[in-house]
């Protein structure tokens, strides 16, 4: 039997050591999904690694956090932000639901970065070449023309233009070139509808619900929906009182768009929610009677992963239309 080369053994030892560093980071599950700039510098110094080498070394420990019950294929994505933080992304799959409900590791990473107010991802190291779905999704980023992707044993870097030449993207659908893109601040000027205000008043004493509703509305105001103009936000309440939220993120190609429930699931997984049945209630905030709605698909989704969870739909409206 052939033995691994000394160089290969050294790589494995460093990966194991880095994995140990992550497990001890602040003693918190959260910190497995991102590293602060000072932690990045400490790891690079301790292990004698360049930025690119560290990103590649972190892929394996990141992938262990994936939840792929259908494929059993663990994907890890590790991205460096302009802030100096490193973010992890993993794939999430949901049994008894169509495969298109899955969250790809690269999408998970973007949501993770957005929740930390990251404005640019410089480079991304992934377990394998990004699929076409993710290449298209990354076309929405404000840094799409500069972000670099690393994958493969040689750690070669690629631009999105190389991975998806002559791509269809925001410029093909948006008339206004000043429209903020994904990772840039979004400001959908939304307020509660009269019916939503009444529903909130009826449950005034329920603190967890009030927090979830406020969080879902905030996520709707931050939703990236330039193509449909149908922003949406969603918040999850767990049995332990945790509140996790996410926005709806659109793609110019439509199908790679990420629904708000999946975005909120990313937030919950980052915080260590052990299983989806821990979801007690979901609060969805969207516009009434618009071309893109999430209520029905959210209900179906919850029926499979958290059948006992309550779904509450609160409608928002554009502020300028309040008096119409």
SS3 state of residue 226: coil
Residue that the structure tokens 């602060």 belong to: 36
93 is annotated as contributing to ligand binding: yes
First to last CA, the chain: 78
Catalytic residue among 39, 106, 250, 286, which? Answer: 106
Residue that the structure tokens 């979004």 belong to: 186
SS3 state of residue 201: helix
133 is annotated as contributing to ligand binding: no
Q: Decide if 106 is catalytic.
A: yes
74 is annotated as contributing to ligand binding: no
275 is annotated as contributing to ligand binding: no
Q: 139 Cβ partners below 8 Å, 6+ apart? A: 160, 164, 167, 168, 169, 170, 251, 252, 253
91 is annotated as contributing to ligand binding: yes
92 is annotated as contributing to ligand binding: yes
Helices 207-221 & 260-270 angle (0-180, nearest 10): 120
C-alpha gyration radius of the chain: 20
How far apart are alpha carbons 108 and 120 in whole angstroms?
15
Bind-site residues for substrate = 91-93
Bind-site residues = 91-93, 104, 131, 134
> Which residues are annotated as catalytic?
106
Bind-site residues for Zn(2+) = 104, 131, 134
């Amino acid at each position: 039997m052939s033995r691994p080369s000394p160089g290969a053994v050294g790589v494995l030892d460093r990966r194991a050591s880095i994995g140990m560093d992550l497990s001890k980071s602040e003693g918190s599950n959260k910190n497995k999904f991102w590293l602060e700039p000072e932690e990045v510098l400490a790891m690079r110094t301790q292990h004698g690694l360049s930025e690119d080498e560290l990103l590649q070394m972190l892929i394996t420990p990141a992938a262990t956090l994936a939840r792929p019950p259908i494929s059993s294929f663990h994907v890890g994505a590790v991205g460096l932000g302009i802030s100096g933080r490193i973010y992890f992304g993993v794939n999430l799959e949901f049994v008894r639901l169509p495969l298109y409900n899955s969250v790809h590791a690269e999408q998970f990473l973007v949501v993770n970065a957005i929740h930390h107010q990251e404005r640019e991802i410089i480079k991304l190291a992934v377990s394998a070449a990004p699929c076409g779905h993710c290449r298209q999704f990354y076309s929405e980023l404000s840094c799409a023309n500069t972000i670099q992707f690393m994958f493969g044993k040689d750690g070669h870097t690629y631009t999105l233009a190389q991975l998806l030449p002559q791509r269809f993207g925001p410029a093909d659908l948006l008339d206004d070139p000043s429209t903020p893109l994904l990772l840039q601040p979004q400001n959908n000027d939304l307020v509660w509808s009269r019916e939503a205000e009444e529903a909130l008043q009826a449950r005034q004493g329920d603190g967890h619900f009030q927090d979830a509703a406020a969080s879902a509305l905030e996520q709707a105001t931050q939703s990236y929906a330039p193509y449909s103009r149908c922003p949406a936000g969603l918040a999850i309440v767990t049995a332990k009182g945790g509140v996790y939220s996410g926005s709806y993120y659109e793609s110019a190609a439509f199908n790679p768009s990420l629904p708000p429930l999946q975005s909120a699931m990313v937030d919950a997984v980052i915080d260590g929610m052990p299983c989806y049945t821990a979801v007690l209630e979901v609060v969805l905030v969207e516009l009434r009677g618009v071309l893109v709605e999430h209520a029905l698909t959210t209900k179906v989704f919850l029926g499979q992963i958290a059948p006992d969870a309550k779904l509450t739909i609160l409608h928002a409206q554009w502020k300028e239309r309040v008096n119409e």
